Amino acid sequence: MEPLIEIVGAAASLPLNNVNTDTIAPTRPRAQAGPAAIAEREIDATALFAPLRYDAQGAPRADFVLNRPGFERATILLAGSNFGCGSSREQAVWLLADFGIRCVIAPSFGGIFYDSCFKNGILPVMLPADQIDLLIAEVGAGAPQSIFSVEVASGTITTPGGRKLAFDLPEFRRSALLSGLDDIALTLRGSDAIAQFQARDRAARPWIYLPMTKTP
């Protein structure tokens, strides 16, 4: 993963609560040519926010924020509470990343969505709703009035007007973002601890480690 140190860009406000993963990424399985066509990630860029972004005929809705001039390249999303609730489908995160969103600021998130953000180079920031309202109030009509910056190391958001707001992050998440180190690499480094745990646990709960074949 690329290290994520600072995000600078237009902030788009989408102050809707409970935006679920089906709204963010209503993608459907498709019949590809064969198993080789199954990608680790399937991206259909046009699907992002499809129920909000397009009308019934599939034309872009002029009033949807990411269709408005100055926000087509937004990198920050100012969202409502419980953003990304619903299913575990990571497409929601992939589509946001694919669009160019690097930071989502919301009062709260769906749990699986929140964790998945970190693994895909998106910084999810939790801030109280009234602070987000202040940020939204500072979003101008378009660039450059809507350019915010978010700094990972210090945990600071700077608004177009120069106001600074602090946010918290779990420390191991912060250092992983800054180093670009991926969770798998990090965990595999600690393989010994896993082996020791399993050896102890195997003695305490042998039925968990049965050779897992059907027993008659």
Partner 1 sequence: MAEAGTPAPRTLFDKIWDAHVISDMGDGYALIHVDRHVVHDMGARGFVGLRNRGLPLKHPELTFASADHAIPTSPTTPWATYSNPYLENLRESARIFGFTFFDVARPGAGIVHVVTPEQGIALPGSTLACGDSHTCTIGALGAVAWGVGQSELLHILATQTSIQQRPPNMRIMIEGPRPNGITPKDIILHVIRRVGTAGARGLAIEFAGSAIADMDMEGRFTVCNMAIEMGARYGMIAPDETTFAYLKGRPYAPKGELWDQAVANWRGLRTDPGAVFEREIVIPSRDLAPQLTWGTSPDQVIGVDESIPDPAGETDAVRRKSMIDALSFVGLEPGQSLIGVPIDNVFIGSCTNARLSDLRLAASYAKGRRVAGHVEAWVVPGSFDVKTAAEAEGLDRIFIEAGFQWRDAGCSMCGGMGDLSRERVASGKRVVSTTNRNFVGRQGPGSRTHLASPAMAVAAAIAGCIADVRDL
Site residues, partner 1 (CB under 8 A): 17-18, 20, 22-23, 26, 28-35, 37-42, 51, 80-82, 85-90, 93, 108, 110-113, 115-116, 119-120, 170-172, 183-184, 187-188, 190-191, 193-194, 197-198, 201, 205-216
Nearer to partner 1 (CB atom), residue 44 or residue 72: 44
Smallest gap from Cβ 17 to partner 1, in A, equals 5
Sorted by sequence, the CB contacts under 8 Å of residue 59 that are 6+ apart come out as none
Nearer to partner 1 (CB atom), residue 30 or residue 63: 30
Smallest gap from Cβ 194 to partner 1, in A, equals 6
Whole-number Å distance between alpha carbons of 77 and 186: 29
Whole-number Å distance between alpha carbons of 177 and 172: 9
Smallest gap from Cβ 173 to partner 1, in A, equals 8
Whole-number Å distance between alpha carbons of 192 and 33: 42
Residue 74: both structure tokens together:
């937004």
Output DSSP code: residue 109.
B
Sorted by sequence, the CB contacts under 8 Å of residue 124 that are 6+ apart come out as 103, 104, 106, 109, 113, 114, 117, 118
What DSSP element (H or E) covers 95?
helix 91-99
Nearer to partner 1 (CB atom), residue 81 or residue 156: 81
Nearer to partner 1 (CB atom), residue 116 or residue 159: 116
Nearer to partner 1 (CB atom), residue 10 or residue 125: 125
Smallest gap from Cβ 161 to partner 1, in A, equals 26
Smallest gap from Cβ 128 to partner 1, in A, equals 15
